[in-house]
Structures are given as structure tokens and as C-alpha cells.
Amino acid sequence: MTRFKQAVYLAPGLRTPFGRGGGALAAYDALSLSVPVVRAMAEQVAGRKPDLFLWGSVIPNLGWSNLAREIWMDAKLDAAVPAYSVVLACGTSMTAAFSAAGTIGPGVDVVMVGGSEVMSRPSLGLTSQANDRLLGLFSTDPAQAVAALGSLRATDFNLPTKGWANRITGRTMGDHMEETAKQWGISRQAQDEWSYRSHQKAIAGWESGFFGDLVIALPELARDANPRADTSLEKLAALKPAFDKSGLGTLTAGNSSPITDGAAGLWVMSDQGRRRLPANLPTVRLLDYEIAAVDFHKEGLLMAPSYAIPRLLDRHGLSFEDIALWEIHEAFSAQVLANVAALERPGWIAEKTHVTRDFGRFPWERVNPNGGSVAIGHPFGATGARDLSQAAKELAAMPRPSKAIVSVCADGGQGVVALLENG
């Protein structure tokens, strides 16, 4: 059973190294950082020309509206390729893949998708009130408007992401996740242990060469800057809470995904489209997907994946053990632990999702074999493409047929989950 009228396949794309906030890639923006990835991926497809190009970024920028088209044109590739942008918070480039899958059909066999974020350089804007004042002056007395610019106060400016906060609640992702961690009893020790393993696996992935054909070196950076070979449980335990500083906080800079700059791409194609890409590029089938949403006034802001996963598995009659690979985005260690705790709690799935069957034991040992976002980093718009590319490469090397779940939580109480198969 599949969602699509014809088979849809994914193949790993390319990405930049993921840089630390304020570090080697901070001079880029979401547009310029995407161009080298898109050019490199274009070299992989016959004629340097996919049939469609989809890209996204989460942090607003006044310099463009349709980011995808601007990237494509700056990359100086065939202008006849249509391009449009997709946005769904941290699930942006994964949602772009789903959108691309829906276009596969006559005339569309190969789609390049992805996303980017330079979190080091969020655009500053003006509040609506300050904006109105200045616009009025510019239309009547430009000299007074220029003078007014010099008198702007700190309260007149608006950081679009509010320091990565939810617009409605005004609270950061970390603030919300602290609340969820307490609700689900996720300990500081468990979070630090998850983070430590994520770093270990990411470092091992680099040392083994796993990331070698997924990451293009840039002049400023050749490999991911965030994974720490020298971290330890003792070092992680010494870090102070980053969000709840009352003495009860458990989320730290060490067990949360860091501010990150990066761009990542992915291939979406038909069976015929696979022939236009290199024969040695691993491909897996996208069987189905689920996009879920919860009321974050009542549920945890990042808990939607725990709703999406049972619904997706149930449609295919699958248990947890039937999934050979779990690629779960690590916005926070606590977020992964809380979502899986929900899946494991007796009666929770039936109560919340109305799916009543038993999914069995959750295979923790199959999660993120080459590390996750806590270690690798989380440039919002790029994370979905990074997760899917990583999963496609991992899954393609497994015995056939094997299946994978790729899961990404997103601001706004949403979550996107994909079901892949290598058969």
C-alpha cells in the first residue's frame, strides 16, 4: 500500500557542513549558502536540469519572497526550471519532499528539494507601529523620516523569530520543552546520556566516511563543526540549565540542538527519473507520510510526532519492530525521549490517536545510527532534507526489504513523518 498513484523514490542529496552559530558560515545568508549545494546537485542530474525545484527557509528575510526561484537564478542554472518555496517550521524541507512527491507524473520525473538556514543572521524588522510611523513620514516628509530613523528605540525593533519563540505564546522552544520534560518525567541524566551518544555516533559517522559523499566542503568549513569528540557525561553534567534557571531546569546547551548554519538538498523522483541520476546513487521508496498537529495549549509544543507515527504505522499494519531504522530529529534530547515515552505509555496511543492496536516494544537501539541534530546541528530549513538523505543512505545499505521512519517535530504543535522502504 502506498499513498501515491505511481512509485516515488528518494535519493540522498548533498549538503554543506553544518556550522556553529556565529562561526565559519555566518557571513552567508539562506540564499547564498544554498547556491553551492544546488550547483553541486545539478551536476548529478542529466543535462544539469531537474524538472522542478523546491526549497525553503524558516527565518523571514525582506530581501526575497520566493527563495527557491532566487536560489535557482543565482546558481545560473536553466531558467526554464520552475521553482517555488515551501515553509513548515523545522519540517520545511521534509514537507518540500512530500510536496514534490505529489507532483511526480507526466513531465515531472526528477525534483530537487531542500532548505537552508543561517541562524547566525536573523533579519531585524520593525514593529507594526514603528513601520507605520516611518512609512507615513517617508510619503510626506522624507527628511523627517530619516531623522526619525535615528530616534528609533529598542522596542521599535522586532526579531522575527523572537529568539526562536512561538509567536502566540512568546515562549522559546526550550521553554516549552522544559515544561514537556517535567510532564513526562524526563531526567537531566537521560537527556545528557542521549546527547552524549548522539555526539559519539556523529563523530563515528565522520570517521568511518559515512558523511563523505553527503557533504560538500566549503572554503570556510570542510566538515560539521558541532559534533564534539571531546565531550563526556561529566562535561555535559557540568553545564547550567539554559531555559529554566529556577533550579528545576534540565535542558542545557549540551542536550539541546545548537544554533546552526547550513543548507541541505534531496532528490525526489519517479522510477523513470532514477535513470537520469548516477547509477551508484542509493534510492529508497517513499511509501507514505503523515503530517500531524496538536493544540499546543493543551499538549507539548513538539509532541505531534507521537500522534503521526501510530497513524502512519497503523495504515500499513506495521509494529515498531517492523521498522529497521528510526531517524528522529533531535530538537532536544528531551523531545525525542518524551515522544517515545508517549508511544510506550500503556493506553496513550489509543486515547490520543484512537488507534487501538498494540505496536509492541520500541527499538531504541535503531534510532539515529549516525547521530542526530543535538550533535550535527539544526539549521531549521535544512534539517528535513538532512534527515531524509541520511536515512535514505542508511536504509539502502540494509537487507531488503527493510523499512524506515523519519520523524521531525515542528513549531506550532506540528510534526511530519515519512515511511520509507528499500525493497
Q: What is the C-alpha separation between 68 and 83, in angstroms, rounded?
A: 6
Q: What is the C-alpha separation between 268 and 63, in angstroms, rounded?
A: 28
Query: Which listed residue (90, 176, 199, 329) is catalytic?
Result: 90
Cβ neighbours of residue 196 under 8 Å, at least 6 residues apart?
Answer: 231, 232, 233, 236
**Amino acid letter, residue 102:** G
Asked if 409 is an active-site residue, the reply is: yes
For residues 94 and 405, the answer to whether their CB atoms sit within 8 Å is: no
Which CB contacts under 8 angstroms, 24+ apart, belong to 143-149? none
For residues 353 and 292, the answer to whether their CB atoms sit within 8 Å is: no
Asked if 199 is an active-site residue, the reply is: no
Q: What is the C-alpha separation between 313 and 320, in angstroms, rounded?
A: 8
Task: From 247, 250, 118, select the one nearest 178 (Cα to Cα).
Answer: 250
- φ and ψ at residue 108, rounded to 5 degrees: -130, 100
**How do 157-158 and 125-126 pair as beta strands?**
antiparallel
Q: What is the C-alpha separation between 335 and 95, in angstroms, rounded?
A: 20
Q: What is the C-alpha separation between 373 and 21, in angstroms, rounded?
A: 14
Query: Which listed residue (176, 199, 329, 409) is catalytic?
Result: 409
For residues 421 and 403, the answer to whether their CB atoms sit within 8 Å is: yes
Active site residues: 90, 378, 409
